[in-house]
Amino acid sequence: MHEADFVVIGSGSAGSAMAYRLSEDGKHSVIVIEYGGTDYGPLIQMPSALSIPLNMPLYDWGFSSEPEPHLGGRVLATPRGKVLGGSSSINGMVYVRGHARDFDHWAEEGAAGWSYADVLPYFKRMEHSHGGEQGWRGTSGPLHVQRGKRANPLYAAFIEAGQQAGFELTADYNGSKQEGFGPMEQTIHRGRRWSTANAYLRPALKRRNVSLVSGFARKVIIENQRATGIEIEVRGQIQLVKARREVIVAASSINSPKILMLSGIGPARHLHHNGIAIVADRPGVGANLQDHLELYIQQESTKPITLNSVLNPISKALIGAQWLLFKSGLGATNHFEAAAFLRSAAGIDYPDIQYHFIPAAVRYDGKAVANTHGFQAHVGPMRSRSRGSVTLRSPDAWDKPVIRFNYMSHPDDWTEFRHCIRLTREIFAQAAFDPYRGSEISPGGHVQTDEDLDAFIRDHAESALHPCGTCRMGRADDPMSVVDPECRVIGVEGLRVADSSIFPRITNGNLNAPSIMTGEKAADHILGRAPLPPSNQEPWINPRWQQSDR
């Protein structure tokens, strides 16, 4: 039987950070349970190969949504990492902290101690920023964050077009000022994907007090309302991993609620229906599921300078060879090198639209959509009011859960998405793109009316792969809270959840950075340490926010 002071389920963004911090002083033993295998090899470590591991059964749990009623019954893939480093090993390597107001909202919703002033010191502690805004960024943490070279002139055209359309510029959207157009940040270091496996887990595993156990986590063992360990399955054999002090679930916004429910923590009626003995009736487990949806707006390029020229097998082989030998070239970037965070209307005080820009017209799976040179902006609203759920399909731990996002179920979603499409067209119509702009590939110039745009959204909106919120953090007396502000599961001793599932509301942008921050901050709570002193730095808010969207 394996035994440690702390047992962490999941080696992903939060789990790896906790393994590193909980073991740092050498006083406590830590076991990390991970079902997935190694992250070695170019498919994961080479940044430009990012579309490949995303849907490989070797690295991905293979989840998908139920048919989405507001998207014409489409089933959307919901990849989650099943590999060392979790989803940080299969994600797009885009680094976004989130906006200061996101975390202030968490605190207002009952997550006391998680306001921007409280979390900023943890973002600084975890970062090693290369080129970020001085005073706002960490420079000695385990997580290396860089900007791409932006060698392709289309990146500069996108940023210049934003300025020509009247929007702000920002030199560092992870610094004092998120709003505006500017360079995009990447978790890439020396040409390699800088996942939490590379940043945190490998250094932690060099310590004598940390071990990795390979197994499938079936449920938390709870005795007299106290978590005492984890039941895992290894090659068909059931084993027990014992926790002397605490069990910490960091298994993703899909698997964390599933594990809690299989352990008897969740909505009583749902557990009863599945024949599971109720340990704690927490109706919030599996509720509050949120995600970001996005569209690709694609434009033909009149100049043959886009990545479409290297999508052929020979070019890919040359790029791969250069990366393998030197960790440089087009293989050493995720190609997301320009970004924007904008407000959709006057009266909105901080950005609610995100852009990723790439100098190619391709889908997430890496296939070209047209036999032409092109460029595209990925765009989507950040704060949808639509909410979904994760529930058990059966009491069998191996059964995939039922995932219902209810995408586009709120009428505002449609208004916001139409605005995103029209705004992107306005940006692409600016003079900065005059030397490059051909005809619109997608949606296509003929798609103009609200009805046409809605049909396009219904058929083509894709998940940005940012699920969260299913074990919501809040006040202990709130019946929909699953964990309190110290990440303790309400109603069970010795059990915590710390990953993107505890987010009360989705943050602005990609979720890897706030997930790592959650692991960093949770580690201090678990160790009973005083949190890092709050920051007194004030983020930039557009002085014209009440009058204008720009």
Neighbours of 157 (CB within 10 A): 24
Bridge partners of residue 63, in order along the sequence: 78
431 is in an annotated binding site: no
CA pair distance 199, 319, nearest whole angstrom? 25
Is 143 annotated for ligand binding? Answer: no
The number of angstroms, rounded, from the C-alpha of 177 to the middle of its chain's C-alpha atoms is 21
User: What does each C-alpha distance from 134 to 138, 311, 387, 400 come to in angstroms?
Assistant: 9, 38, 38, 45
34 contacts: CB under 8 Å, gap ≥ 6: 10, 11, 15, 84, 86, 212, 213, 214
β-partners of residue 265 are: 280
To the question of whether residue 13 is assigned a binding role by annotation, the answer is yes
Q: How many domains does the chain contain in total? A: 1
Say which residue the tokens 């020509």 belong to: 164
Binding site annotation covers 28?
Answer: yes
Q: Are 185 and 512 in contact (CB under 8 A)?
A: no
Q: Is 30 annotated as a binding residue?
A: yes
Strand partners for 314: none
Structure tokens at 185: 């940040």
How far is C-alpha 289 from the geometric centre of its chain's CA atoms? 13
Q: Virtual CA dihedral for 481, 484, 487, 491, nearest 10 degrees? A: -80
Q: Which two tokens stand for residue 229?
A: 């360990």
Phi, psi (deg, nearest 5) at residue 305:
-110, 5
Q: Is 159 annotated as a binding residue?
A: no
How distant is the alpha carbon of residue 36 from its chain centre?
19
Helices (H) and strands (E) in the chain, counts: 13, 25
> Per-residue confidence at 544, pLDDT binned at 50, 70, 90?
very high
d(CA 471, CA 539): 28
| Structure tokens belonging to residue 325 | 């030998």
Answer whether residue 157 is part of any domain.
yes
Distance CA 125, CA 412 (A): 37
> Is 36 labelled as part of a ligand binding site?
no
Which residues 6+ apart lie within 8 Å of 422 measured at CB?
Answer: none
Q: Quick check: 488 pLDDT over 90?
A: yes
Per-residue 3-state assignment (H helix, E strand, C coil) for 451-489: HHHHHHHHHHCEECCCCECCCCECCCCCCCCCECCCCEE
- 87 within domain boundaries: yes
Question: How far apart, in whole angstroms, are the C-alpha atoms of residue 406 and residue 289?
Answer: 9
Residue 539, in any domain of the structure: no
CB of 533 within 8 A of CB of 119?
no
- Residue 334 has, within 13 A of its CA and on its CB side, a CA count of 31
pLDDT band at 247 (very low <50, low <70, confident <90, very high): very high
With 80 as the cut, is the pLDDT of residue 216 above it? yes
The string of pLDDT tens digits covering residues 148-207 is 999 999 999 999 999 999 999 999 999 999 999 999 999 999 999 999 999 999 999 999
495 is in an annotated binding site: no
**Does 6 appear as a known binding residue?**
yes
| Residue 260 in tokens | 């809690």
- The CATH number of residue 360's host domain is 3.50.50.60
State pLDDT tens for residues 285-303. Answer: 999 999 999 999 999 999 9
Confirm whether 272 is a catalytic residue. no
Mean pLDDT estimate for the chain: 97
210 is in an annotated binding site: no
Does residue 541 belong to any structural domain of this protein? no
- Is 475 annotated to bind ligand? no
Cα→Cα distances 276→261, 265, 403, Å:
8, 9, 20
**Are 16 and 86 spatial neighbours (Cβ–Cβ below 8 Å)?**
yes
Alpha carbons 115 and 118: distance in angstroms, whole number: 5
Q: Are strands 77-78 and 63-64 parallel, antiparallel or unpaired?
A: antiparallel
The predicted pLDDT at position 55 comes to 82
83 labelled ligand-binding: yes
Q: Is the pLDDT of residue 445 over 90?
A: yes
Which residues span the domain enclosing 442? Answer: 2-526
73 marked ligand binding residue: no
What pLDDT score does 371 carry?
A: 80
CA separation for the pair 258, 218 (Å, rounded): 9
Query: CB of 480 within 8 A of CB of 504?
Result: no
Q: What is the pLDDT of residue 4?
A: 98
User: Smallest Cα–Cα separation from 342: which of 549, 101, 116?
Assistant: 549
Distance separating alpha carbons of residues 493 and 151, to the nearest angstrom:
53
Query: Quick one: tokens of 298?
Result: 């694609």
State the DSSP H helix or E strand holding residue 271, giving kind and residue range, or none if neither: helix 268-273
Given the residues 99, 128, 144, 466, the one annotated as active site: 466
Instruction: Tell me, yes or no, whether 219 lies in a domain.
Output: yes
10 Å Cβ neighbour count for 371?
A: 6
482 is in an annotated binding site: no
CA distance 479 to 266: 11
Does residue 430 belong to any structural domain of this protein? yes
91 among annotated binding-site residues? yes
Measure Cα distances from 306 to 323, 361, 428 in Å: 19, 8, 16
Q: Which residues contact 142 (CB under 8 A, 6 or more apart)?
A: 20, 126, 128, 199, 200, 203
Band of pLDDT at residue 424, cut at 50, 70 and 90: very high
Q: Is 340 annotated as a binding residue?
A: no
**Is 531 inside any structural domain?**
no
Are residues 196 and 516 in contact, defined by beta-carbon separation less than 8 angstroms? yes
Q: Do the domain assignments include residue 134? A: yes
Mean pLDDT of 432-449: 97
Residue 146 class from Cβ within 10 Å (0-12 exposed, 13-18 middle, 19+ buried)?
buried
Q: Give the closest residue to 99 by CA, choosing from 470, 503, 506, 464.
A: 506
Q: Is pLDDT at 366 greater than 90 in this prediction?
A: no
The verdict on pTM exceeding 0.85 is yes
Has 17 been labeled as part of a binding site?
yes
User: Tens of pLDDT along 38-86?
Assistant: 999 999 999 999 999 998 999 999 999 999 999 999 999 999 999 999 9
Q: Is the pLDDT of residue 369 over 80?
A: no
**What confidence tens digit (pLDDT) does each residue in 349-362 have?**
999 999 999 999 98
Q: Is residue 27 annotated as involved in ligand binding?
A: yes
Is the bond preceding 267 in cis, omega lying within 30 degrees of 0? no
Give the separation between CA 208 and CA 45, rounded to whole angstroms.
26
Estimate the crossing angle of helix 100-108 against helix 116-126, to 10 degrees. Answer: 130
What is the C-alpha separation between 265 and 283, in angstroms, rounded? Answer: 9
